A and B are shown apart, each in its own frame.
Chain A
Amino acid sequence: MKPARLHVMMLTMLLVLPCGMAIGATTPPPTEFPPEAFPSTYQPLPSQATLIEHATIFTGTGERIDDGAVLLRDGKIAAIGKQIDAPADAVVIDAKGKFVTPGLVDVHSHLGVYPSPAVRSMANGNEMTSPTTAEVMAEHSVWPQDPGFNTARAGGVTTLEILPGSGNLIGGRGVVLKNVPATTVQAMKFPDAPYGLKMACGENPMRVYGSRHQFPSTLMGDVAGFRKAFADAQAYDRAWKAWQAKVDAKGHTKAGPPPKRDLAKETLALVMDGKIRVQMHCYRSDEMAVMLDVAREFGFHIAAFHHAVEAYKIPRLLAKAGTCAAVWADWWGFKMEAWDGIRANLAMTDAGGACAMIHSDDANGIQRLNQEVAKAWAAGRRAGLDISKAHAVMWVTLNPARALGLADRIGSLEPGKDADVVIWDGDPFSVYTRTEKVFLDGAVVYDRDDPAHQSTSDFMLGSFIDASAGARPDTEDSR
Chain B
Amino acid sequence: MKYLVMLVAMLCVACSPVDNTDTGTSTTGSTARADGQAADGKTWAITGGTVYTLGKAGKIEHGTVLLRGDKILAVGADVDIPDDAERIDARGKIVTPGIFDPESQFGVVEVGSVKQTRDASAGDSRFSAAFDVADAVNPRSVLIPVNRIAGVTRAMVAPTGADEHIISGRGAIIDMGSTEGFVHRDPAAMFAVLGESGAAQAGGSRAAALLALREALQDAGDYAENKSAYASNQRRDYVPSRLDLEALGPVLEGKEPLVIHVDRASDIEAALRLARDFKLKLIVSGGAEAWMVADQLAAARVPVLLNPLEDLPTHFETLGSTLENAARLQQAGVLIAFATGDTHNARNVTQAAGNAVANGLPWIDALKALMLNPAVIYGMDRQLGTLEPGKLADVVIWSGDPLELSSHADQVFIAGRKIPMVSRQTLLRDRYLEAMRGKQAMPAGYIHP
Binds B, one of A16-24, A60-68, A162-170, A374-382: A374-382
Q: Is A339 an interface residue (CB 8 A)?
A: yes
Residues of A within 8 A of B315 (CB): 117-118
In the complex, B418 has a CB within 8 A of chain A: no
Q: Which of A315, A331, A430, A434 contacts B345 (CB 8 A)?
A: A331
| Chain B residues closer than 8 Å to A464, beta-carbon distance | 292, 319-320
* Cβ–Cβ < 8 Å partners of A334 in chain B: 111-113, 344
Give B251 Cβ to nearest chain A Cβ, in Å. Answer: 32
A151 near B311: Cβ-Cβ < 8 Å:
yes
Contacting A at CB under 8 A, from B293-332, are 309-316, 319-324
Q: Are B312 and A364 in contact (CB under 8 A)?
A: yes
Name the residue of chain A whose CB is nearest to the CB of B401: A431
Q: Does A451 contact B (CB under 8 A)?
A: no
What residues on B are CB-neighbors of A148 within 8 Å? 312
Residues of B within 8 A of A463 (CB): 313, 319-320
A333 with B143: CB separation less than 8 A: yes
Q: Does B351 belong to the interface (CB within 8 Å)?
A: yes
Selecting from B28-36, B95-103, B425-433, the interface stretch reads B425-433
B358 touches A432 (CB 8 A): yes
B112 touches A375 (CB 8 A): no
B23 contacts A by Cβ under 8 Å: no
B324 contact from A342, A348, A478, Cβ within 8 A? A478
Q: Is A475 an interface residue (CB 8 A)?
A: yes
Query: Shortest CB–CB separation between residue A122 and chain B, in angstroms?
Result: 11
Residue of A351, A432, A434 contacting most chain B CB atoms (<10 Å): A432
A368 on interface, CB distance cutoff 8 Å: yes
* Number of A residues, CB within 8 Å of B: 56
Give Cα A116 to B312, complex, Å: 7
B403 cross-chain contacts in A, Cβ below 8 A: 431
Total inter-chain residue pairs, C-beta < 8 Å: 130
Instruction: Tell whether B4 is near chain A: CB-to-CB under 8 Å.
Output: no
Residue of A335, A364, A434 touching B358 (CB-CB under 8 A): A434
Partner of A342, one of B110, B309, B425: B425
**Smallest beta-carbon distance B117→chain A, Å:** 10
Residues of A within 8 A of B428 (CB): 340, 342
Residue in contact with A348 in the complex, picked from B292, B320, B344, B433, CB distance below 8 Å? B433
Whether, in the assembled complex, A147 has its beta carbon less than 8 Å from a beta carbon of chain B, the answer is yes
Q: Is there an interface contact between B312 and A459, defined as CB atoms closer than 8 Å? A: no
Prevailing SS type, chain B contact patch: loop
Shortest A35–chain B CB gap in Å is 38
Shortest CB distance A289–B (Å): 13
Interface check B405, CB cutoff 8 A:
yes
Cα–Cα distance between A384 and B315 once the two chains are bound (Å): 43
Chain A 100-124 interface mask (CB, 8 Å, partner B; 1/0):
0000000000000000111100000
Chain A residues within 8 Å of B13, by CB: none
Q: Tell me whether B404 is interfacial, beta carbon within 8 Å.
A: yes
Given contacts A382-B408, A475-B321, contact A118 B314 (CB under 8 A): yes
Residue of B nearest to A334 (CB): B112
Across the interface, name the chain B residue whose C-beta is closest to A479.
B322
Tell me, yes or no, whether B161 is within 8 Å of chain A by CB. Answer: no
Bound CA–CA A117/B426 (angstroms): 38
Check A352–B436 contact: CB distance below 8 A: yes
Tell me if A433 is interfacial: C-beta within 8 Å of chain B. yes
Is B447 located at the chain interface by the 8 A CB criterion?
A: no
Contact of B344 among A119, A333, A434, A478 (CB under 8 A): A333
Q: Which of B314, B355, B406, B441 makes the CB contact (< 8 A) with A429? A: B406
CA distance A335 to B425 in the complex (A): 15
* A474 shortest CB reach to chain B, Å: 10
Contact B113 A431 (CB under 8 A): no
* B residues near A352, Cβ cutoff 8 Å: 436
CB contacts (< 8 Å) of B429 on chain A: these are 312, 342-344, 348, 383
Tell me if B351 and A431 are in contact (CB < 8 A): yes
The interface residues of chain A lying within 8 Å CB-to-CB of B151 are: none
- Complex contact B113–A475 (CB within 8 A): no
**Cβ-based interface call for A367 (8 A):** yes
Q: List CB contacts (< 8 Å) of A145-164 with chain B.
A: 147-148, 151
Contact indicator B433/A343 (Cβ below 8 Å): no
User: Which 5 pairs show the lowest CB-CB distances between chains A and B?
Assistant: A431-B354, A335-B113, A334-B112, A374-B405, A333-B344
Could you show 30 A-B contacts with beta carbons less than 8 Å apart?
A116-B312, A116-B313, A117-B314, A119-B316, A151-B311, A331-B344, A331-B345, A332-B344, A333-B142, A333-B344, A334-B111, A334-B112, A334-B113, A342-B429, A343-B429, A348-B432, A348-B436, A351-B436, A364-B310, A364-B312, A367-B311, A368-B309, A371-B355, A429-B405, A431-B351, A431-B405, A472-B292, A475-B319, A478-B324, A479-B311
Q: A342-B428, A479-B323 are in contact. List 18 more A-B contacts (CB 8 A).
A: A116-B312, A117-B316, A117-B319, A151-B311, A330-B345, A332-B344, A344-B433, A348-B429, A351-B436, A363-B314, A364-B312, A371-B405, A377-B406, A383-B433, A430-B404, A431-B357, A475-B321, A478-B322
Binding site for B on A (CB under 8 A): 116-119, 147-148, 151, 203, 207, 312-313, 315-316, 330-336, 339-344, 348, 351-352, 363-364, 367-368, 371, 374-375, 377-378, 381-384, 429-434, 459-460, 463-464, 472, 475, 478-479
